């Protein structure tokens, strides 16, 4: 036994410390006052001081009377008992007063969603072009990814992981400069370096070229659908609306940019088109103004960016707002009110903004970047605080596409890899409904 062990208080095993302390503190007799909890100074004052004051009331001067009154107030701070039968409550080291509203607010704070820091899957993407002005990746409503690799276009089925080559063009036509799925997921538009746009039927067993659209003079790097209207943007600074149902497919053009069109995005309503160009401009167009006879067609022209604008994404929960991202000389994400043309906010990201995607299930924005970190950044809107940064690509992340359910994001970079990220959460799992069998005792185990 060591020298100090005999002075240690014995602690019984397997007893909760808090409950043991509580029993020790409250082991009192209900009929015997607890001397340690009584205030004898106050008791003496009440038993003697008060009487003296009354006996000599007549001889007190006004100053002494005021002093006695003040002294009585100090001693009489809400104390009404002299005898105490319980210990005083211990004074907390730090008093925290919470109003009902703050307590309710703490209960309603949403738990932050876990975002995996690594990609779920990584696929090879050899020969993908390292070109900021092109759009080489798209994810269709049929759950199939289309990616352009050099002169070829490949389809990757996300449901079973199978990959097929859709097409390969000659060097006179290629390389492929843009891909875009039709809304129904049955047709794929393919922009080419020779200024042509091909329309392909992608149904298994019947993949074939349906038609070729002509109208541009230089390569076509931007495509987007609005119903049966395929809008194309080229290096010739032209934007053309093509009705793919009719022979004379050009039904409207937009003129306003003076350099290559880098990005095209139709609003969810199909009434407004946002375009970004290598001239650092963002234009908002109306579908009703796509006429070859009009000279001043844009609804709004935004000149705030200081580098090429490729990244464009319409807000899913605010129909009159679009986000745009600038290149390496700008590095900003800007938010625009498309009704007024006003810039609502601007955030400097510190690197080239290559692509933007909104979370369809929450108020979040995903951006992909170039030098120096080649990262994906998840932003909380509207505060634009960083929720997470995802690393993995070793070169600028030029292309992004979102799965049909909106939860998974595919990215393609100049490091020749295609990665799948679980960025926006998981679909809510629904329990399968048990189908009632017709035979009796179907819920019992059977041997067949």
Q: Convert the pLDDT of each residue in 125-163 to its tens digit.
A: 999 999 999 999 999 999 999 999 999 999 999 999 999
User: What is the structure's pLDDT at 87?
Assistant: 60
Per DSSP bridges, beta strands 163-168 and 152-157 are antiparallel
Angstrom distances, CA of residue 295 to CA of 8, 12, 301, 340, 419:
95, 92, 14, 21, 43
Query: 280: which residues sit within 8 A by CB, 6+ positions away?
Result: 303, 305, 306, 307, 308, 309, 326, 330
Alpha-carbon span 441 to 448, nearest angstrom: 15
Predicted confidence (pLDDT) at residue 291 exceeds the cutoff of 90: no
Q: Which residues pair with 122 in a beta bridge?
A: 419
Is residue 333 within 8 Å of residue 357, measured between CB atoms?
no
Alpha-carbon span 52 to 60, nearest angstrom: 11
Alpha-carbon span 318 to 264, nearest angstrom: 19
What b/e readout covers 146-158, taking b as 16+ CB neighbours within 10 angstroms?
bbbbbbbbbbbeb
Say which residue, 404 or 25, is predicted with more confidence. 404
**28-32, 33-37, 85-89, 303-307 — most confident range:** 303-307
43-49-55-59 Cα dihedral, nearest 10 degrees: -160
Predicted confidence (pLDDT) at residue 372 exceeds the cutoff of 60: yes
pTM: 0.72
> What is the arithmetic mean of pLDDT over 325-349?
97
Structure tokens at 285: 């167009």
In the chain, what's the furthest Cα-to-Cα distance?
Answer: 121
User: What is the structure's pLDDT at 205?
Assistant: 72
Query: 197: which residues sit within 8 A by CB, 6+ positions away?
Result: 189, 190, 191, 212, 213, 214, 216, 220, 223, 230, 232, 242
Predicted confidence (pLDDT) at residue 9 exceeds the cutoff of 90: no
């Amino acid at each position: 036994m060591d020298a100090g062990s005999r002075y240690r208080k014995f602690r019984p095993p397997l007893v909760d410390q808090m409950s043991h302390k509580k029993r020790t503190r409250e082991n009192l007799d209900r009929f015997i006052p607890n001397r340690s909890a009584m205030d004898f100074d106050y008791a003496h004052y009440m038993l003697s001081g008060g009487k003296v004051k009354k006996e000599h009331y007549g001889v007190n001067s006004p100053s002494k009377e005021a002093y006695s009154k003040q002294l009585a107030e100090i001693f009489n701070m809400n104390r009404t008992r002299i005898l105490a039968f319980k210990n005083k409550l211990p004074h907390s080291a730090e008093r925290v007063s919470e109003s009902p509203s703050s307590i309710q607010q703490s209960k309603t704070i949403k738990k932050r969603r876990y975002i995996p820091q690594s990609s779920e899957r990584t696929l090879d993407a050899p020969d993908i072009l390292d070109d900021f002005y092109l759009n080489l990746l798209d994810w269709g409503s049929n759950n199939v990814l289309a990616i352009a690799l050099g002169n070829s276009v490949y389809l990757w089925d996300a449901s079973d992981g199978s990959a097929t080559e859709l097409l390969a063009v000659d060097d006179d036509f290629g390389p492929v400069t843009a891909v875009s799925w039709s809304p129904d997921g049955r047709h794929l538009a393919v922009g080419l370096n020779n200024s042509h746009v091909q329309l392909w039927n992608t149904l298994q067993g019947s993949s074939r070229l349906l038609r070729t659209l002509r109208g541009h003079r230089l390569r076509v790097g931007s495509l987007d659908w609005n119903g049966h209207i395929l809008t194309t943007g080229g290096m010739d600074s032209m934007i053309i609306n093509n009705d793919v149902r009719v022979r004379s497919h050009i039904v409207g053009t937009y003129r306003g940019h003076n350099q290559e069109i880098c990005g095209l995005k139709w609003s969810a309503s199909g009434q407004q088109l946002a375009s970004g160009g290598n001239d650092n401009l963002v234009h908002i167009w109306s579908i009703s103004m796509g006429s070859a006879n009009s000279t001043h067609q844009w609804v709004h022209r935004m000149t705030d960016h200081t580098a090429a604008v490729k990244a464009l994404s319409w807000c899913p929960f605010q129909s009159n707002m679009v986000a745009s991202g600038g290149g390496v000389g700008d590095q900003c994400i800007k938010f625009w009110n498309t009704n007024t043309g006003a810039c609502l906010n601007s955030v400097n990201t510190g690197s080239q903004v290559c692509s933007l995607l909104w979370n369809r299930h929450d108020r979040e924005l995903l951006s992909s970047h170039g030098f120096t970190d080649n990262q994906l950044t998840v932003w909380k809107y509207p505060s634009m605080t960083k929720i997470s940064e995802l690393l993995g690509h070793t070169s600028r992340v030029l292309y992004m596409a979102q799965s049909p359910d909106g939860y998974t994001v595919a990215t393609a970079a100049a490091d020749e890899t295609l990665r799948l990220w679980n960025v926006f959460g998981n679909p809510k799992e629904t329990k399968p409904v048990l189908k009632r069998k017709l035979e009796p005792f179907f819920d019992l185990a059977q041997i067949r």
